[in-house]
Amino acid sequence: MNDLTELSLQRAIHGLRQGDFSCRELVEAHLDRIQRLDIDLNAYLFIDGEGALKRAEIADRQLAEWRKSRQSEPPPLLGIPIAVKDILCVKGMPCTCGSKILEGFVPPYDATTVEKLLNAGVIILGKTNTDEFAMGSSTENSAYGVTRNPWNRERVPGGSSGGSAAAVAARLALAALGTDTGGSVRQPASFCGVSGIKPTYGRVSRYGLVAYGSSLDVVGAFGRDVQDVAIIFEQIAGADRRDATTVDLPVPPIQLGQNTDLDSLRIGVPKEYFIPGMQPEVEQAIRQAILHLQELGAVVEEISLPHTEYALPVYYLIAPAEASANLARYDGIRYGQRISAETMWDIFYRTRGKKFGAEVKRRIMLGTYALSAGYYDAYYGKAQKVRTLIKQDFERAFQRVDVIAAPVAPTTAFPFGEHTDDPLAMYLEDVFTLPANLAGVPALAFPVGFDREGLPIGLQLMGNYFQEELLFRIAHAYQLTTDWHLRSPMST
């Protein structure tokens, strides 16, 4: 094949096993493309080219030995180049979380998800850009510059995992890890025309993930299509003794064949997810995609998730409250950067005041206020009660339907600066993704069309707890019978 960067993950695995090309050739093709395109896109914050090539040579030797003996199977992802969001720890690589306060910090250990993928044979090309501490919906909040959308360089890639989504869309990695606290995998997947999974809370370990909102954070994955995402998900899912929130349930193998029959499947469409002000092309594409699923045999019915309207205020009380506690550790003493002063307190004030960005400081202050004496019950306590109501909405819905289909975002990728001066407008970009995080259910995003400016539109499927395999099966049936996921950014 002429361009190895155009391979899907599953085709790359097959090609390496067959000896059609070497791991070194595959890695070099991606590094060359990164060198050419990422100056403009800024998807990566750190690139480990030398390390990736060394690991590629080791992988080539392993594959050569396997081809001779054909005895024990090699690791399932041996030689596959991927990217990792710069909020997950990779031993020996910088972990800045898109913040100046962690500039220069290099973790001495791997996150569990990274460790599992390394054991599966992947080659990590580098760390991808993110909104600072994953707080944002556009990757404009990164202290290291914005990431540009490969489909239109004047548009955002979404956030906070915008770097990972852009890297996969622009063919700068075969797959990537991201995180999703309120939509940070699904919204960038939608904006960049790729597929992305937010697993059930507790399905994937958070050990080694730099925490934002501990009851909401989930590690997810991006791929060209849902089959690629499923391959990564299979490797990272499972219980972890280092993360007490993981659930000790078996992860069944995900086998996606050529079956497109969705007979007897019940799909619910929540009326609350189609709102005034929604971009008409987005609504049209979503309804057309749902109709296509119906043509494949699914039964579609309108449902109600009545507490959806409260998801936004509930999230922006709970997440900042948890962030204010989690980010208290960044004080200029133990990690990253420090601004010296005469007293310990002055070190804290100066370092945090200068090194945290505006959005991070806004959320820390909001969260601290919500947790303060006299306001805890009125704000944080009440938000937790309404969160329970949102969770119960989903539980009732899944008594009637198997999955829920809805838009990922009310618009396609917006121009840089459009919401910079209006935090509420930025927060509204996550209005359709927040409920799944508050309820803890899995959600999968994948492309279902484009608007008149050629920008991708994404659909999300939400399922009952630990039903990721069902989401993959439905989306795979859709992708077997459509070609939206096969399109790539012509400008790259």
Token pair belonging to 155: 């548009």
**184 catalytic residue (yes or no):** yes
Please give the Cα distance from 185 to 177 (Å, whole number): 9
- The answer to whether the CB of 163 falls within 8 A of the CB of 191 is no
Please give the Cα distance from 471 to 462 (Å, whole number): 7
140 burial (CB, 10 Å; 0-12 / 13-18 / 19+) is: buried
- The answer to whether the CB of 285 falls within 8 A of the CB of 409 is no
User: For helices 226-236 and 112-119, what crossing angle results, to 10°?
Assistant: 110
- The answer to whether the CB of 451 falls within 8 A of the CB of 412 is yes
Candidates 142, 160, 190, 324; catalytic one? 160
**161 catalytic residue (yes or no):** no
> What are the beta bridge partners of residue 219?
179
Token pair belonging to 237: 């899912």
Candidates 85, 116, 127, 355; catalytic one? 85
Token pair belonging to 303: 């449902």
3-class state of residue 116 by DSSP = helix
Residue in the structure block whose two tokens are 């009380």: 317
- The answer to whether the CB of 216 falls within 8 A of the CB of 182 is yes
> Phi/psi zone of residue 342: left (φ > 0), alpha (ψ -120 to 50 degrees), beta?
alpha
* Dihedral sign for Cα atoms in the order 258, 260, 264, 266: positive
Candidates 8, 137, 184, 195; catalytic one? 184
Residue 426: partners with Cβ closer than 8 Å, 6 or more residues away:
136, 137, 138, 419, 420
SS (H, E, C) 184-250: CCHHHHHHHCCEEEECCCCCECCCCECCCCCCCCEEEEEECCHHHHHHHHHHHECCECCECCCCCCC
Bond into 160 cis (ω within 30) = yes
Please give the Cα distance from 377 to 160 (Å, whole number): 30
Please give the Cα distance from 87 to 217 (Å, whole number): 11
Amino acid (one-letter) located at 388 = T
DSSP state of 149: B
- The answer to whether the CB of 53 falls within 8 A of the CB of 81 is no
Please give the Cα distance from 175 to 172 (Å, whole number): 9
**160 catalytic residue (yes or no):** yes
Residues classed as catalytic: 85, 160, 184
